[in-house]
Amino acid sequence: MSDRIFGLFGLALAGFYFWATSIIPDSFMVDVVGPRAFPYIVGTVLAICSLYILLRPDAEPDWPSLRNFIEIIFATAVMFLYAWALSRIGFVIATVFATFYLTWRLGSKPLGALITGVATSAGIYVVFHLILGLSLAKGPLGF
């Protein structure tokens, strides 16, 4: 079933890709093939493979339970949020929280996770910024 859904998704993606290819504007420079030929080939391969997967699906993969799936979604969301927060509150604070969350969800006790968060954040700051001179995201506090 999963493969059939993915096959449908692939077909839709291929359709979208064809449409997006068809609207690629020509420029004043031209070559024999033009900018659309190769994307059309890629789209065709995508469509054929999706059709095959749709018609001949593999055995069902083992999906995580709903609870674990929510874990994945949350972890992804936290990382998105981290990316957004980096340039706003700075590397050090954002990293403490992101590391805390991931460590906690991987099974540390909250206090241990917080210590790991602080240690990771400070460790990376010292090694990569102070010693190696890499530029990290700066927040309003300057770190």
Partner 1 sequence: MDIFSNLADGFAVAFTAKHLLLALLGCFLGTLMGALPGLGPANGVAILIPIAFTLGLGPVASLILLTSVYYGAMYGGRISSILLNIPGDEPAMMTCLDGYPMAQQGKAGEALALSGIASFVGSFFATWGLVLIAPQLVKIALLFGPAEYFALFTMAFATLGGVTASNQAKSALAAALGLGIAMIGSDSQTGSERFTFGHIHLYDGIDFLIAIVGLFAISEVLIFIEHHRGGSAAQSGAAKIGKLMPDFRTLTRSYGTMIRSTIIGFLSGVLPGAGASLGSFLSYSVEKNTLDREGKTFGKGDPRGIIAPECGNNAAAGGALVPMLSLGVPGSGTTAVLLAVLLQLNITPGPLLFRNNPDIVWGLIAALFIANFMLLALNLPMVGLFTRVLLVPTRILMPVVAMISFVGIYGLTGSTFDVMLMVGFGFAGWLLRKLGIPLVPVILGILLGNEMEVNMRRALQISDGDWSILLGSPLAIGIWAIAVAGFVLPIFFGKKVKKQMQAEHSEEEVEEVVKGGD
Positions touching partner 1 (CB under 8 A) are 2-3, 6, 10, 17, 20-21, 24-27, 29-35, 37-39, 42-43, 45-46, 49-50, 52-53, 56, 58, 61, 63-64, 68, 71-72, 75-76, 79-80, 82-84, 86-87, 91, 95, 98-99, 102-103, 105-108, 116, 120-121, 124, 128, 132-137
CA nearest 103: which of 83, 122, 78?
Answer: 78
Least distance to partner 1, CB of residue 75, Å: 5
Residue nearer to partner 1 on the CB measure, 132 or 141: 132
Residue nearer to partner 1 on the CB measure, 52 or 141: 52
Least distance to partner 1, CB of residue 103, Å: 5
* 3-class SS shares of the chain: helix, strand, coil, % to 5: 70, 0, 30
Residue in this structure with the two tokens 């093939």, named with its chain if needed: 33
Chain-centroid distance, C-alpha 39: 23
DSSP 46-71: HHHHHHHHHHS--PPP-PPPHHHHHH
